[in-house]
Amino acid sequence: MHSNIIITSGRKYIDIDAYASMIAYRELLKAEGNPNVTASTTARLNQSVPPLILNLKYTFDDPVVADDSKFILLDVSNPDFFDERIKIENVIEIIDHHSGFEKYWTDFPNINTEIEFIGSVCTIIYEKIVRENHTEILDTDLCKLLIAGILDNTLNLKSSITTERDRAAYNELLKIGNVPSDFYAEYFSACEAEILKDFTKSIKDDLKIEKAGDLPEVIGQMIALNINSFNLDEMKKVFAEYSEWIMNVISLEDGKSYIYFGGDGVKQRLEKIFGVEATQSDLLMLDNFLLRKQIMKMARDAI
């Protein structure tokens, strides 16, 4: 493998799935004899990476990007959202769980791609660690990182995108790392505390500006232990500058997505995508919860 490799992810922000999988993949490649592999990003971390996670012993590196640096991208396959340092000719591998760009990368045979619709990239990286016979790197802190990525991206293993592979990885990581089974509560409580420190900024920092089918381009998401955890009026003020938007508030306790929205015609478009009627003039409530990437996939599939 190339001597100077930087593992990175998206441009705007990265979540715990990207953060944890980048670090774990770095540890795997080092165990395979690649000492010059680093993990870093130009993006900020969102609230899914709370101090509970940042205080673990594994952290990002601060590499110098050289002319011969090569890049591995995790948790992103849309080139419009790559880390700002990326040039396509310097990419050697892409691992992602967002659908939509599988065919695009067939024109780049020199780039190894693994793009599949699964709950978490952390699951893919865990499976690689097992397949390459390097489970010795899975100490408690690295297991907690991977577990947190799986928990966040599968909504505590309750999202419909959760696969048996995600569940198996989660259960094995608990055993290998001797991680308490109630770690999920500790993790989600830590994330919620971070969000509430600066509620408005938390929403703005996690907005995705991307066109998907008939959805508004401005798409927010927030995971709450309970729908009453947040001030909904304060949340709506964040979107005052946008002509149309949606905000997916996922309530873990009652297992529902509360999709708030604004803009002319958005109500009708959402009702068509989801096949249900809005319960209020600015709210469409689903009987289960969906992640933002699922909502975007549904919107693309609808057209």
Same domain, 257 and 152: no
Where residue 1 falls among pLDDT bands split at 50, 70, 90?
A: low
Q: What digits encode the pLDDT tens for the residues 128-168?
A: 999 999 999 999 999 999 999 999 999 899 888 899 999 99
- 200 or 135: which leads in pLDDT: 135
Instruction: Decide if 76 contacts 10 (C-beta within 8 A).
Output: yes
**Residue 261, strand partner residues:** 246
Average pLDDT over residues 253-267: 92
Same domain? For 177 and 213 the reply is no
| Core vs surface per residue 96-111: b (16+ CB within 10 A) or e | bbbebbeeebeeeeeb
In this model, does residue 43 exceed pLDDT 90? yes
| Average pLDDT score over the chain | 92
Flag whether 193 is in a domain.
no
Q: What is the pTM of this model?
A: 0.82
Q: Could you give the percent of the chain with pLDDT greater than 70?
A: 99
Residues 9 and 117 placed together within one structural domain of the fold: yes
The answer to whether 295 and 271 have CB atoms below 8 angstroms apart is no
User: In the prediction, which pLDDT does 15 show?
Assistant: 94
Look at residue 37 in the predicted model and tell me its pLDDT. Answer: 96
| Region 214-238 average pLDDT | 88
Specify the residue for token string 């549904």: 298
Mean pLDDT lowest among 118-127, 142-151, 245-254? 245-254
Query: Is residue 289 over pLDDT 80?
Result: yes
The dihedral region occupied by 258, where left means phi > 0, alpha psi between -120 and 50, and beta the remainder, is beta
CATH number, domain of 231, equals 3.10.310.20
**Does the residue 54 lie in any domain?**
yes
